[in-house]
Structure 1
Amino acid sequence: MFEGITAPMTTHAFTLAGARLIALPTGALYWPDHNLLCVSDLHLGKSERRARLGTTSLPPYETQDTLARLDADLRTTGAKTVICLGDSFDDSAAADALGEDEKLWIATLQSGRRWVWIEGNHDPGPVDLGGTHLAELPVPPLTFRHIARPGASGELSGHYHPKASVHARGRSVSRPAFLIDTDRVILPAYGTYTGGLRSDDTPLTDLMRPEAVAVLTGTATRVIPMPR
């Protein structure tokens, strides 16, 4: 299990509420004891929704790119449970507008796995794409939900698309990032073209403890004190 990652420093292992977790450089989170992969904010169909609404257009390949990365993470980890932490689709119409090839790809990824869609603010209704659709999911000692709740503990959430910046070679580099403290993890957005909220913005500084760290994604993870 987890044989595809040959360089341990490319990932970041940590514990939350006693659960041993691994942050992957792709923005996915792996829970080895449950053979579970968690991703957040796929926003599949974002380019279709932009085109439908007549707003700034995006190249129409983000769904394929996101599914390709998810496919690779599932092959690497061998996960048998997948939890998508909400906003898996840019809206309900975007889910309905998926092409047959994309629907087949999702069905193939779901085959032989437990697949849970957590409700998000972009996709609150049922999705006719297989799997289970839940408001939130407790898997003790952790709880999976879309939006973090103040005062919660052992919580995994998404929604905010956090990102953090570091200085490298005389310039600032911003990356999607996990935010981690002793109470919670806020996952970065996994989807292509999803953008992000800076870690020093008030919603995130209010949620995260002073000792929180940011785990930047990319070709390898990088752990820094959460920029405030």
Structure 2
Amino acid sequence: MSLQQQPRERETACDTRFCGHAVTFDASGALWFPELSLLVVSDLHLERGAAHARRGFFLPPYDTGRTLAALAAVIDRYRPERVVSLGDNFHDRVGARDMAAAERQSLEALTERRDWVWINGNHDPDGVAGLPGRVEDEWLFEGLTFRHEPKRGVKGEICGHLHPSATLRRPGKSVRRPCFALDGARLMLPAFSTTAGGLDLRHAAFAGLFDRRVLTVHMLGPERVYSLPFAALSA
């Protein structure tokens, strides 16, 4: 079963509100705040292939270019004044320092004329090396808290880290896709990286992070976003 076979009530992006702000869930995995001209992405994991190669495990060396191309496309679509990247921007501590010159130039071009905020993640706790933009452990803006890892007890939190995904099952069929997860207090983004995996929302790592009675899931399809209550996902 593919997501194209689900009801087509959602288009390329879908809209809702979170903590008083209009938000758009984009099928790329980016989050758009139209009233704030703010684009949010999470878990780019740039230079993942290079990080694995340094450890003797070789992957096709195309991940950074593909992720940057996807990021450029979504920036061109919304033309934000501000961009926040929610940590694990690079897959390890030296990725920003050692990335190829051409890809560094592509990334620098994306940051031009924008207020760009890099949030530190567990993969890159030392920040980004020599790239334009501000580096923060967390960022407070318009009543919202942007950080990498979720922290209990904070209302208005926007985070990443866990790479949420959701599985929709029907008799004899199932589909699993990256997703946004949203209740009244927390909004978690999927990994924007083109090579990162996902962790199912029913995994123990999500225990206590969301009020499942009001949790909504926004699953990424190839060209559109599908929204459904958490209760609609089969165990």
Q: TM-score, normalised by structure 1?
A: 0.93
Q: CA deviation at 1:54?
A: 1.4
In the alignment, the residues of structure 1 paired with residue 137 and residue 151 of structure 2 have an alpha-carbon distance, to the nearest angstrom, of 13
Instruction: Tell me which amino acid in the other structure corresponds to 1:60.
Output: P
TM-superposition CA deviations, 1:162-220 (whole Å, max 9, x none): 01112369421111100000001010000011111111012213201122011111211
In the alignment, the residues of structure 2 paired with residue 126 and residue 186 of structure 1 have an alpha-carbon distance, to the nearest angstrom, of 21
TM-superposition CA deviations, 1:56-103 (whole Å, max 9, x none): x32110101100011000110011111000000001212222100000
Contact 2:10 2:224 survives alignment (8 Å): no
> What does residue range 110-149 of structure 1 map to in structure 2 within 5 Å?
110-127=111-128, 128-149=130-151
Work out which of the residue numbers 155, 158, 168 in structure 1 matches 2:157: 155
Change (3 A) 1:130 1:90: same
TM-superposition CA deviations, 1:99-136 (whole Å, max 9, x none): 00000001100111111100101111132111100011
Aligned-residue identity in percent: 37
Work out which of the residue numbers 222, 225, 231 in structure 2 matches 1:221: 225
In the alignment, the residues of structure 2 paired with residue 204 and residue 171 of structure 1 have an alpha-carbon distance, to the nearest angstrom, of 25
Indicate whether 1:103 and 2:107 are aligned: no
In the alignment, the residues of structure 1 paired with residue 42 and residue 117 of structure 2 have an alpha-carbon distance, to the nearest angstrom, of 12
Q: CA deviation at 1:16?
A: 1.2
TM-superposition CA deviations, 1:14-56 (whole Å, max 9, x none): 111111111101100000111110000000000001111113x
SS class of match (2:105): helix
Q: CA deviation at 1:10?
A: 2.0
Contact 2:119 2:127 survives alignment (8 Å): no
Contact 2:148 2:160 survives alignment (8 Å): yes
Q: CA deviation at 1:8?
A: 6.8
Q: Which residue of 2 aligns with 1:3?
A: none
Unaligned runs of 5+ in 1: 1-6
Change (3 A) 1:182 1:37: same
In the alignment, the residues of structure 2 paired with residue 165 and residue 130 of structure 1 have an alpha-carbon distance, to the nearest angstrom, of 38
Moved more, 120-129 or 150-159: 120-129
Unaligned runs of 5+ in 2: 1-8
Contact 1:18 1:141 survives alignment (8 Å): no
Contact 2:87 2:120 survives alignment (8 Å): yes
Aligned residues: 221
In the alignment, the residues of structure 1 paired with residue 209 and residue 50 of structure 2 have an alpha-carbon distance, to the nearest angstrom, of 33
In the alignment, the residues of structure 1 paired with residue 171 and residue 31 of structure 2 have an alpha-carbon distance, to the nearest angstrom, of 29
Contact 1:136 1:143 survives alignment (8 Å): yes
Moved more, 161-170 or 194-203: 161-170
